[in-house]
Amino acid sequence: MDLSTLPTLTALSDCVTIAQLGENKIVRVIHPKASAAVSLHGGHVISFKPEGEEDLIWMSTEAVYDNKTALRGGIPICWPWFGRIAAPAHGFARNSEWHLIEHRESEYGVIISLGLTDSAETRNIWPHKFALVLNVEITEALKVTLNITNTDSAPWRFSGALHTYLNLGDIHTMEVTGMGSSYIDGLQGGKVCQGEDILTLSDTIDRVYTEPSDEIVLHDQTLDRKLSVVNRGDNSAVLWNPWAEGAKSMGDMNDNGYLSMFCIESTLHADSLESGHELASGDSYQLETVISAK
Ligand code: TA6
């Protein structure tokens, strides 16, 4: 995506502007170290390009920027649950309008902070009070931290994910290491399986890896680079690619889209709302992912 062509609505500094993309408002960062873009709808990172690199983040060419639809690609914020254990799928955060709290910049890069708190609309879906702050740190690496605070008077439970779509040259020439070997297979009804230490793909995959290493590495032979993913606050890494049939079945993914994307997700996984992570009143939790090119 060429960020520089998006019309500017407001200039916040030399590096940070609010721009328009379809109906969505985008916080656009163009800094000597990296450029990036974050949609206020969804609190959704849609681009991260360190200087001299191709985008590390994949966005679907068919993504719908109508300020209503969850965006296909980027880093969807799945919260207060991951998956289809309740409706809407992956929670409501990726479909909510976030607000810009602040932006800070230095010679090393820019930090954008967005916020989302409960409203009548969110309490109608999930009856709890909360405050989310999303810090997006744009330097030579991209650090995305979701700060979750229980502002209610009683504890509640949650799960979630930073559902990153990585951009790659060709899925057939990709190898992934560091995800561990134990996984729950979403394509086999949640069967617990043991896999290889190196993952290559020739078909769809939808797995929850339950013992990932500190660093997961995607080796992209076509673009001749390695993408490093370091997650914190997670209990698993979800790896997903819909392959050709899955891509065809999605209205917002072009038929060949699956060839150039792979999801490595920082996930706090739970099988149900009831078995999610408990957060006491007044307490906070952080879910994080750090992505860089080597
Ligand atoms: O994270 C993997 C997954 O849960 C898959 O099962 C797949 O459906 C994907 O997310 C995309 O979900 P979405 O609701 O965005 O279509």
Q: How far is the CA of 271 from the centre of ligand 1 (A)?
A: 15
206 CB near ligand 1 (under 6 Å): yes
How many domains in the chain? 1
pLDDT at site 97:
98
165 CB near ligand 1 (under 6 Å): no
The type of residue at 158 is F
For β-strands 277-279 and 156-158, DSSP reports them as antiparallel
> What is residue 70's DSSP assignment?
P
- What is the residue range of 222's domain? 3-293
Distance between CA atoms of 36 and 30, rounded to whole angstroms?
Answer: 7
Q: How many CB atoms lie within 10 A of CB 41?
A: 23
Distance between CA atoms of 195 and 125, rounded to whole angstroms?
Answer: 37
Task: Give whole-number Cα distances, 43 to 116, 121, 171, 174, in Å.
Answer: 9, 17, 27, 29
Distance between CA atoms of 164 and 199, rounded to whole angstroms?
Answer: 18
Residue nearest to atom 13 of ligand 1 (CA): 89
CA 291 to chain centre: 11
Distance between CA atoms of 275 and 7, rounded to whole angstroms?
Answer: 45
Distance between CA atoms of 183 and 195, rounded to whole angstroms?
Answer: 7
pLDDT at site 3:
87
> Which regions in the chain score pLDDT beneath 70?
none
Task: Give whole-number Cα distances, 15 to 37, 44, 136, in Å.
Answer: 12, 19, 15
CATH at 275: 2.70.98.10
**Tokens 């290493």 found at:** 213
Catalytic residue among 163, 175, 215, 269: 163
